Chain A
Amino acid sequence: MSISESVIKTDHKRKITGEALYVADYPTAGLLFGRLLRSAKARARLIAVKPPELPSGYFYVDKNDVKGLNRVHIVQDDLPVFAEDTVEFIGDAIGMMVGPDRDTVEELAGKVTVEYEELTPVIRVEDSDTIFVDYHYDKGDAEKAFREADRVIEEVFETGHQEQAYLETQGIIARPEGERIVIHGSMQCPYYVHRAVAQATGYRPEQVRVKYDTTGGAFGGKEDYPSILAAQAAVAAIKAGRPVRVIFDRREDMEFTGKRHPSKCRYKAAIKNGRVTAMDIDVIYNSGAYITLSPVVIQRGIIGASGVYTIDNLKVRGRAVKTNTVPNGAFRGFGGPQTFFAVEMMMGHIAARLGEDALGFKLKHIAKKGDVTSTGGIHHFPVPLPAMIKQVCEACDFKSKREKYNTQTGTKRRGIGISLAYHGAGFTGRGEHELIKAVIRLHKYPDGRVEILTANTDMGQGLDTTFSKIAAGELNISLDRIIVEPADTDRVLDSGPTAASRSIMVVGELVRRGAARLRDEWREGDEQVIEEHFKEPDFVIPFNIKEFKGDAYPTCAWSVCAVEVELDTITGVARVLDACGSYDCGTPIDRRILIGQMEGGFMQAIGYASMEQMAADSSGRIRNNSLSDYIIPTAVDVPGLRCLLHEEAYPAGPFGAKGAGELPAVGGAAAYLEAMEQALGGVPLNHIPFSAENAIDILEKRGNAQ
C-alpha cells in the first residue's frame, strides 16, 4: 500500500463519539476557577490595585506572587506574567481571582478597584514611536537598477487582523503536586509552556510537567498564548495550593489573545524592458503591545516579500512596531500571508500598467530550480508552478473566463483572479540547527508494539495518524502496532514545537530514520529504545540572520489559487462561485488528511480576504469580539471550494513529504481580491479584508463620476 493512501484517523473514534477529553471536560470537583483581571485602559500607569475583602478559600494573585522572573518566555522576555507599573493594552493581565465558586470569582474580580493614571495610547501604526525590530537586507544592486529603470511604480498595501477562531477557546489547568507543578490543557507546544512555567515559578525544569489535552483547533493561536496562560495559572495554583482552571469565554479569547499582525507594505518596483528589475520593499507589521513572536513573524514576512519571483535586485526593510493594542502572534502562514498578498497585487498592478496580462507577466518572473533566492540562497529543487498553473487554469477554465469577464453588463458582475505563493518549510534560518535541536525516541516493547515519543501535538491536523503511518511504513508493520500518546514532558524529549509546518518534514523524518534503524536492529521479544537527533541536510547553505544571507528554508511548498466571484453591484455583496487551489507539499503522507488541510486553509484565506474584519477603535478596544461580530465562513459561503495536489517527492523529507499545514493560508487572498478588481471593472484594490461596504464605496464613486 502506498503511504499516500488514506486510512481512518487514529483519533477519529474518540472524537466522533464525544468521548475525547478537552481541557474543559475534566471533572471540576476540587478545582478552583480562575478569572483574569484585565486592564480597562490601553495605556496607563497603575497607581493602586485594591482587591475586595476575600472570603476564605479565595485568592487574588498578581505580580507579587510571581516567585520566578515576572516575564513570559517567548522569543524575548518582554511580556510580564502580571502587569508591573504600567498596562500596555486593553486586556493586559493585572491579576487573577481564584476560588471554588465560579460566580463568586466573577463577582470578586469585578470588585477589584484599579486606579490608573492614563497615558495617551498609540493605536495607529503611523503614530508608533517604538520599533521592536528593524531588519534590512539587500540582494544585487537595487539603487543601480532604479537609476537605470524605464519606469518606477510605487504602491501601498494593507491587511487587517485575522483571528484564529479555533472552535475550542484557550484553557489550562495547573495542578500543584508536592514539589511539582503539573500543567495540562489546550496547546501546540508543550516544551514552550514548560520553559515559560519554569521561568515564572522559579521551579527547576524537572519540577514542571506539561501534558497536552485533546486540542480543539489552534492554527498558531495556541503556539505562544498557552505559555502566558499557563504561567499565570501556575503562579495562582502555587499560591492557592490547589489546582486552578482557567478557560476563556469566546469574547475574552477573541479580544485578548494574539492574532495575525495587521500590515502596511510599501512596494516600489523598477521596470526595464518590460520586466521587474528591482524592488524596494518596506514592510511594517503592527506588533501590538508586546514583542512576543513578532521578530520571527516579520522575518518570514520579509523573506517572502518578493513572492515566488526571481528579482535580481532587492532592498527590503521590515519593522515590527509597538501599538497599545492586543499583542499579535502566530497564525497559520506566520507573516507570509501579508507580504504574499502585497506582492501578488503589486505584480498584477504592474502588468495592468504595462498593458499586459497579469498571469503572463507573473510567469515571466517565476523562480526556477537553481535560481538565487531573495536571501542569496538557492532554489535547490524544481519549482513546479508552471505545471500547477496549468492544472488550476484547466480546472476552472481560467483563461476564457478572465477574458470573458472583461466585458460585462447588468447588475451582477463576475471576476476571476489567480495568485501564486510558497511557504518556506520549517523554521526560518538556522532555528532547527541552533535553537530547537529536535530529538525523538521510538520505544519498542517486548510484544512488538512501537511507541513514538515526540513533543508534537495533534490539534486536528492529523499528526498522530501521519506519524504512525511513517513509522509503520518504514518498519513494515501494521498501523495498530504503533502507539502515540499525547505528549507529556515527563515522557518525551524536546522534538520542538508543532509550528512552522515542520512536524512531518523535520520530526517525521526523525521518526522515519529511527524506524529504519529499529527495523535493522529489531530483536524479537526485546525492549528497545532508539533515539534520533536533528541533522541539517547537507545541501543547505547555512543562513546568516544578521545579513539575511543563505537558505532561509531547505525547501518550499508551492501553491496556485484561483477564485471566481459574482458581485451584486446594487448591494456590494460578493458570492464566491469557484475557488480552486493546487498545492505542492511533496508526497502526501495521507492524501485525505492533506486535502483536508488544504481545504480548511484555503477557506481561511478566503475569509481573510473577504469577511473577517477586526480592528481596534480609537480607544484601543476591539469591538468585533464575538462570532456574531467577527464572521468566519459557514458551509454555504464557498460551496465550490476544491483543492488539487501536485505530488512530487522532496528527497530530504520522510517518504518525500515536506511542509504542508500553513501553505493554503498564504496565497488565496490575492486571488480573491484580483477577482473583485475584475468584477469592479478593473479598478486596482490595495487592502483586505475587502467588504461589501468597500465595494459600495467604489461603485458609488464611479456612479457619481458618471
Chain B
Amino acid sequence: MIPELGHFALILALGIALLQTVAPLIGYARRDAKLLAFAGSAAQGQFFCIAVAYVCLTISFVDTDFSVAYVAANAHTDLPLIYRVSAVWGAHEGSLLLWMFMLSGWTFAVSVFNRRLPADLSALVIAILGVISTGLLLFMLLTSNPFERLFPVPLQGRDLNPLLQDFGLAIHPPTLYMGYVGFSVAFAFAVAALITGKLDAAWARWTRPWTTTAWMFLTLGITLGSWWAYNELGWGGWWFWDPVENASFMPWLAGTALIHSLAVTEKRGLLKSWTALLAILTFSLSLLGTFLVRSGVLVSVHAFASDPARGLFILIFMAIVTGSALLLYAWRAPKLVSIGELNLFSREGLLLFNNVFLVVAAAAILVGTLYPLVLDALNLGKISVGPPYFNAVFLPMIAPLFVLVGLGAVVPWKKGKVGETWQRLKLPALAAVAIAIVLPLALHGRATLLAVTGALLGAWTIIAASQDVWRRIRAKRQFITGLTSVPRAVWGMTLAHAGLGVWALGVAFVISYGFEKDVRLAPNASTEIGDFTFGFVGAQEAKGPNFVAQQGEVTIEHGDHSVATLYPQKRFYPSQRNVMTESAVEASLLRDLYVSLGERFDDGSWSLRIYVKPMIRLIWLGGVLMFLGGCLAASDRRYRLAMAADRKAVLDGAQPA
C-alpha cells in the first residue's frame, strides 16, 4: 500500500510540475497576475508530493519491505537502521528520487523566500525549475521507478553495497546533490533574465545568495567524498581524478567562477552576458555530472549497473535543457548591455582573470574526462587519461589564482593604483616568503620545490585575504566594535579564501613529505617508514552486525615511545559476498598514520598498506572553511535588507501606474 501511495504521489507531482511550467509562462505572455501567482502554489504542492513519495520509500526501507524491487536490491534485515535510511539513495532509482526531492525543495524555497521578488521574475524562475522537474519525473516514472514491485517476494534482500555502509557516505550524496541541484536556481534565474531582458544589479543581488548556498553544499559534498574515499577505499589517497570526481569538480569550478562574476555584475554592472552564460554552463555541467554517474558509461567506484535507455534519456534531456538555454542566450544576450568600462587593474579586472583561469581549468578537465568517451562512442579505440594529465594541466591553471586572491583583497573596484597595492602587499608578501622557507625546514628538515611553492601560495593567500578584515577592524576605534562591524559577507569571503590557502598547504605537504609503502609482514614482524616503526602483531576474527572481519593489530612507535595501536579490518559481507577494506587511521592535524590490510598469505603473513600522510587533514579543513565561508556569505543581512528595499521600490513604482 505504501509503495503505491509513493508511486501515486510521483505521478501527481508530474502533473503539478507540468502545470507549474505552463501556467506561469502563459501568465507571463498574457500579463495575467493570477496565473503568475499560481507558480508558487504549484511549487509548494509539488514539494509536498515529492516529500510524500520520499517518506514512502524511506518507510519501505525501514520496514525492509522486500516486495519493492529497489528495497530488495539494496537492503537486508541485518542492515543497521541508519544505513536503511541512507540506503534510499544507495543506488540509481532512489538517488534520483533524492535529486528530485532536492529540486522540489529548492523550488519550494524560491517560492517562499522570493515573495519579495517581482512577481513575473519569481514566476518565471519557478516555471523554468518546473521544466527540469518535469523532465526528471518523466525519467523516473518511465525508466527508473523506485516503487516497482517484485514478485515473488524474496525472503531476504541483497543488502546495501558495503562500500556505502559508512557515515561519510551516508551524507556525501545528499550534500553533493544539494549543490548540483542548487545550481538549477542560478540557471533558472539566468534564463528568466534572458526572457525578461532585465539583468541588473538587483537581479545579481537576488541570484547571489542562491548560488553561494548551492556552491557551499557542493564544496562540502566534494570534501566529504574525498574524506570518504580516503577512509573507505583503502588506497590512502584523497583525490584520484576519477571521472566521477571530475564530474563533481567541473560544476564546482564553474560555480566558483559564477560566484565571482556575479559579484562583478552586482557591484559594477559588468560581465552581464558572461554571468548568464556561466550560470547556464554551471548547471549544464551539473546535469552532465548526473549523466556521467547514472548512465554507467564510466568505469568507477560510483558507476551503477548500466542501462543504455537511461543514459540516452538523460543525454536527450540534457541536450534539450542546455541546448534551448544556449539558443535563448544566443538570441537574447546581445540585449544585455554592460554599462561602464572594465579596467584590467581593478578588482573587477582581477575577477575576470579569476574567471578565465577557473573556466579554462574546468575546460581542461572536461576534455580529459570526455575525450575517452567520445573516442569510444565513435569506435576509434578505447583510451583512458591518467591522473598525470590532470595534474599537469590543472596545477599551472590553479597557481595564478592564489596570486589573484591576495591582489583582489587590496585592489579596489574601478581602478587600482600600483604604488598603493605594493604598499599594502609588501608585508604579506615578505611574511609569506619567510613562512615558505621556514615551515618546510622546521617541520620536515628538508625543503622541496613543491612544498615551498605550496607554503608560499598558501601563506600568501591566508595572510593577504585576512588583511581586509584586519583593516576594517583597525578602522574602528575599539577592537570589539570593529570586530562586529565587519559584514558577514566579508567574513565569509575571507574564511573561504583562507580555506583555499589551508588546502594548498595540505596538498603541497602531503605530496612532498608523504610516505607510502606496501609491505608483507609476518605476525610480530615490523617495518620502518619515515621516523616510525610499524609492528604487525597479528590478525584475529571480529564480528559486526552484518559482516565478519579479520582484524589486524598494528603498533606504531616513534623512537622509543609508543604512538598508537591501530586495528584495520578486512570485512566480509556474506549477503553480497563482498569483501571490504576498513582502514585504520591515527589522525592529527600535522600527520596521519594510515594502515590498511591487504590479504592473508598461506604462511600466515599479511600484505599491508602503510602510509604516513603529513597535514592531509588540512585538505579537508580547507574544504570545510570554504563551506563555512559560504554559509556566512549567503546569510549576510545585506541580502535580506536589500530584498525588502527592492520590494518596497517595486510596490512604490507600481502604485502610480
B is bound to A: no
